[in-house]
Amino acid sequence: MAEDMNSSLESATLGGGCFWCIEAIFAQQMGVKSVVSGYAGGHDSNPDYKDVCSGTTGHAEVIQVTFDPKVISFDALLDLFWRAHDPTTLNRQGNDVGTQYRSAIYYHNEDQKASALMSIEKAQKFFDEEIVTELAPLDKFFPAEGYHQDFYTNNPEQGYCSFVIRPKLAKLGLKP
């Protein structure tokens, strides 16, 4: 029976700056079963945090969200995605600068691509600057090292968590 439930789950892979931040946001959503921080969109076949931060692998810090589309739709995830970061700044979110912090949607199928294109058009009405979010098929997702997983939950008093993630959660009306 559990197998039947899991077969109806879908995945979304999104980049919106530091993966610690967006992981904390998406993990609180009803219908989200898991959020894994990782890397996507690059050319290195075995990226690690140090190499991704160097900017040489081409990878972005992303999250892979496993969700139940009967509870939360891909479109609803994208609506949150647009509110959770600034998709108009190229390779930057706040003080985090570099290609690894780019805004990105890595779609898993043609339906997600079509939804993402419509979502970009809809979201653009809420931004003065042009949305620069990368839209590309997901080639491969690489889970980040274990210490990056559930970072905010495991390190709520860490500086970045206190001064960047907690205020962002509060701004979105989520539990800090």
Catalytic residues: 18
Model-level pTM?
Answer: 0.94
pLDDT digits (tens, 9 = 90+) for 64-73: 999 999 999 9
Name the strand (E) or helix (H) holding 66: strand 60-67
Q: What band does 12 get if pLDDT is binned at 50, 70 and 90? A: very high
Please state, rounded to an integer, the average pLDDT across all residues of the chain: 95
* CATH 3.40.640.10 fits domain 2-171: no
pLDDT digits (tens, 9 = 90+) for 147-168: 999 999 999 999 999 999 999 9
Q: List all residues 6 or more positions away from 169 whose beta carbon is below 8 Å from its beta carbon.
A: 24, 25, 28, 175, 176
Question: Can you give the residue ranges of every domain in the chain?
Answer: 2-171
Which of 43, 37, 39 is CA-nearest to residue 58?
43
pLDDT digits (tens, 9 = 90+) for 127-142: 999 999 999 999 999 9
